[in-house]
């Protein structure tokens, strides 16, 4: 509603003064001779009397006449001044004699600036949003080109995100570490004769499989390569005794290995490992399976595998590398760009935790779970979006204690879509409806929702208490939308189809999406 306020300024009218002139009649004195003259007709008599008076009072009349003439001339000059050069004076008088300035009542609020009315949008998704499978529903949709929020349902309320949290983790890693960063695993000489120290640098992708074997992590380093380097360096010094002891240094990460708010079933079901700075194959039982059982001792599994590669090692124990120890070998992880792709496209939880922890360390926040919030928020600060209300408990999104409003995601995805900084890496790593990753599975964007195949690039999320989806829609009308959908609470797997149906509605409506 546009309020219009009209103010009328009124100038009081000035009354015109009226002047009255009083005439004083003086009695004429007449001579006896004049009185004896025959009577004249009235008109002639008057003229005769005037003439006689003039003859008798000639001098005084001359003086009086001059005075009157001068008075008339003066009056004419004043009138001419007003009509002539006085026209300018009158004009000046009008320009300075304006309506009185109204006094503003301080108790009366000033009218607000009239907002520009947005156009009426008529494409509704109300029926799709009313689907009970969405449970406690939150969502926001923004036009990426204009920044206008087209649709909002609890968009500013911070809630758990499930694996959509990996978008924030990846964005922070690309900001803090950069796309080309690699984590190193190193072997150094131990302080005891015949000992070496395997030093974990946070690379969860390091593989115990033979070099050339493809694991779930493309580009992963292999322990056999690292062992070969160590053996060659050890043999190059004839003074070295045989290798008999392996020390495992996982001190790069500290604190809890399992975030207290995570459900242990995530490890038992093969979705998450304990988080340590030294492990192999994400601590999977099967290095070639994304979902695979994990152990309770990732560091021990890595140590046993490396001791086997070295041969002759009789003692394996935990410890810390001596300061300044000579390096015997080193291998490196895939790049952050490759790790972001893995974290997003198949929602790898362990890789996401690796990235979050490395960000916390690089920013100086610390090397524990408790440092992740400060580290990730510092990394996100580079994008200039207000993080008020955002809480980052982990890098993967498994915790119910994470909190991010949908409105933060719609704004971050505007920058991701624009490929700001290194965010093009993140954009390229997203699942795509009906095409790639977790949105390419048979149960996503199927049936009528297949009309949006290839049009939705977004991160999926799933925990026991919610399903989420957030990303970019290339809409049917050519507009680009950013969106976030949360279905939280008592949910089942059918929430995924309800979310896809709503996202398809966004695709069909485009910039004509109504907030009704």
The reported pLDDT for the residue numbered 80 is 34
Residue (of 449, 511, 502) closest to 477 by Cα position: 511
Residue (of 349, 338, 210, 346) closest to 274 by Cα position: 349
d(CA 218, CA 241): 37
The stretch 15-32 carries a mean pLDDT of 35
118 versus 239: which is more confidently predicted? 239
**pLDDT-wise least confident of 47-56, 218-227, 467-476:** 47-56
The reported pLDDT for the residue numbered 418 is 98
d(CA 82, CA 90): 7
Residues 376/168, Cβ–Cβ less than 8 Å: yes
What pLDDT digit, counting tens, does each position of 141-170 carry? 999 999 999 999 999 999 999 999 999 999
Residue 108 DSSP SS3: coil
The reported pLDDT for the residue numbered 30 is 37
Residues 184/201, Cβ–Cβ less than 8 Å: yes
Average pLDDT, the chain: 84
d(CA 299, CA 249): 9
Q: Annotated catalytic residue: which of 166, 415, 459, 496?
A: 166
DSSP-assigned states of every residue in 335-363: PHHHHHHHHHHS--HHHHHHHHHHHHHHT
Tokens of 441: 């599975």
- Position 6 pLDDT exceeds 90: no
Question: Is the CATH number 3.30.70.260 carried by domain 126-178+338-512?
Answer: no
Residue 165 DSSP SS3: helix
What pLDDT digit, counting tens, does each position of 69-127 carry? 323 333 333 333 333 333 333 333 323 334 444 444 444 444 445 444 468 999 999 99
Dihedral pair phi/psi, residue 449, rounded to 5°: -75, -10
- Position 358 pLDDT exceeds 70: yes
**pLDDT-wise least confident of 33-47, 248-262, 344-358, 403-417:** 33-47
CATH fold for the domain made of 184-334: 3.50.80
Whether residue 239 lies in the annotated active site: no
Dihedral pair phi/psi, residue 467, rounded to 5°: -125, 145
**Cα 296 versus chain centre, distance:** 40
What pLDDT digit, counting tens, does each position of 179-197 carry? 999 999 999 999 999 999 9
- The percent of residues above 90 in pLDDT, for the chain, comes to 77
Residues 504/481, Cβ–Cβ less than 8 Å: no
150's enclosing H/E stretch is strand 149-153
Whether residue 407 lies in the annotated active site: no
What pLDDT digit, counting tens, does each position of 328-355 carry? 999 999 999 999 999 999 999 999 999 9
Q: How many CB atoms are closer than 10 A to CB 171?
A: 27
**Which spans in 177-278 are helix H?**
223-235, 265-268
**pLDDT-wise least confident of 107-111, 273-277, 490-494:** 107-111
255 versus 99: which is more confidently predicted? 255
- Position 4 pLDDT exceeds 50: no
Residues 46/39, Cβ–Cβ less than 8 Å: no
Domain ranges of the chain: 126-178+338-512, 184-334
The reported pLDDT for the residue numbered 84 is 37
510 versus 101: which is more confidently predicted? 510
Q: Which residues fall within 8 angstroms of residue 501, CB to CB, at 6 or more apart?
A: 128, 131, 448, 449
**Beta strand 245-249 pairing with 195-199:** parallel
Classify residue 343 by burial, with Cβ atoms within 10 Å: 0-12, 13-18, 19+.
buried
Dihedral pair phi/psi, residue 347, rounded to 5°: 60, 50
Whether residue 166 lies in the annotated active site: yes
Q: Annotated catalytic residue: which of 163, 175, 396, 479?
A: 163
What pLDDT digit, counting tens, does each position of 40-63 carry? 344 444 334 434 444 444 433 333
Residue 304 DSSP SS3: helix
Residue 80 DSSP SS3: helix
The reported pLDDT for the residue numbered 118 is 64
Residue 473 DSSP SS3: strand
Whole-number Cα distances in Å, 311 to 212, 227, 229, 283: 21, 9, 14, 22
- Position 476 pLDDT exceeds 50: yes
Q: Annotated catalytic residue: which of 347, 407, 457, 470?
A: 347
**Using N-to-C axis directions, what is the helix angle for 58-83 and 85-96, rounded to 10°?**
50
The stretch 370-384 carries a mean pLDDT of 98
d(CA 139, CA 153): 5
The reported pLDDT for the residue numbered 119 is 80
Q: Match 């950013």 to its residue by tokens.
A: 482
d(CA 261, CA 353): 14
Instruction: Kindly provide the b/e burial profile for residues 446-480, where b requires at least 16 CB atoms within 10 angstroms of the residue's own CB.
Output: eeebeebbebbbbbbbbbeebbbbbbbbbbbeebb
Tokens of 384: 């200039």
- Position 419 pLDDT exceeds 50: yes
- Position 367 pLDDT exceeds 60: yes
């Amino acid at each position: 509603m546009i309020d219009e306020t009209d103010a009328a300024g009124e100038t009081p009218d000035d009354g015109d003064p009226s002047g009255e002139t009083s005439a004083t009649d003086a009695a004429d004195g007449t001579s006896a001779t004049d009185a004896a003259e025959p009577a004249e007709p009235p008109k002639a008599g008057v003229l005769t009397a005037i003439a006689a008076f003039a003859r008798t009072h000639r001098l005084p009349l001359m003086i009086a006449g001059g005075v009157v003439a001068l008075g008339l001339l003066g009056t004419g000059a004043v009138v001419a001044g007003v009509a002539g050069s006085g026209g300018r004076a009158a004009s000046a008088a009008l320009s300075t004699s304006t309506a009185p300035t109204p006094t503003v009542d301080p108790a009366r609020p000033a009218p607000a600036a009239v907002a520009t009315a947005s156009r009426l949008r008529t494409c509704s998704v109300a029926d799709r949003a009313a689907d009970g499978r969405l449970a406690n529903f939150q969502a926001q949709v923004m036009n990426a080109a204009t920044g206008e929020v087209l649709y909002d349902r609890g968009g500013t309320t911070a809630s758990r995100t499930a694996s959509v949290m990996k978008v924030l983790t990846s964005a922070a890693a690309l900001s803090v570490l950069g796309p080309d960063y690699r984590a190193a695993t190193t072997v150094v000489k131990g302080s005891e004769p015949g000992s070496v120290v395997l030093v974990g640098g946070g690379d969860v992708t390091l593989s115990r499989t033979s070099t050339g074997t493809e694991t779930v992590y493309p580009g992963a380093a292999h322990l056999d390569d690292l062992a070969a380097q160590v053996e060659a360096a050890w043999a190059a010094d004839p003074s070295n005794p045989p290798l008999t002891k392996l020390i495992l240094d996982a001190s790069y990460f500290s604190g809890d290995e399992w975030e207290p708010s995570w459900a242990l079933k995530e490890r038992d079901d093969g979705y998450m490992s304990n988080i340590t700075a030294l492990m192999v194959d994400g601590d999977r039982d099967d290095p070639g399976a994304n979902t695979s059982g994990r152990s309770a001792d990732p560091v021990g599994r890595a140590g046993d595998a490396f001791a086997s590669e070295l041969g002759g090692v009789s003692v394996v124990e935990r410890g810390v590398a001596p300061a300044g120890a000579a390096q015997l070998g080193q291998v490196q992880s895939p790049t952050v760009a490759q790790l972001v792709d893995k974290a997003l496209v198949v929602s790898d939880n362990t890789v996401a935790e690796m990235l979050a922890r490395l960000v916390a360390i690089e920013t100086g926040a610390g090397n524990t779970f408790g440092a992740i919030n400060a580290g990730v928020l510092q990394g996100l600060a580079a994008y200039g979006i207000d993080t008020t209300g955002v809480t980052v408990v982990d890098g993967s999104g498994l915790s119910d204690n994470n909190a991010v409003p949908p409105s933060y995601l719609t704004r971050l995805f505007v920058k991701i879509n624009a490929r700001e900084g290194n965010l093009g890496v993140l954009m390229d790593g997203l699942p795509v409806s009906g095409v790639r990753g977790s949105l390419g599975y048979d149960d996503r964007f199927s049936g009528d929702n297949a009309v949006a195949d290839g049009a939705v690039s977004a991160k999926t999320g799933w925990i026991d208490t919610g399903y989420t989806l957030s990303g970019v829609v290339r809409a049917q009308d050519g507009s680009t939308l950013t969106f976030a959908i949360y279905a939280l609470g008592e949910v089942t797997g059918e929430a995924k189809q309800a979310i896809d149906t709503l996202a398809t509605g966004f695709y069909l409506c485009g910039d004509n999406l109504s907030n009704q």
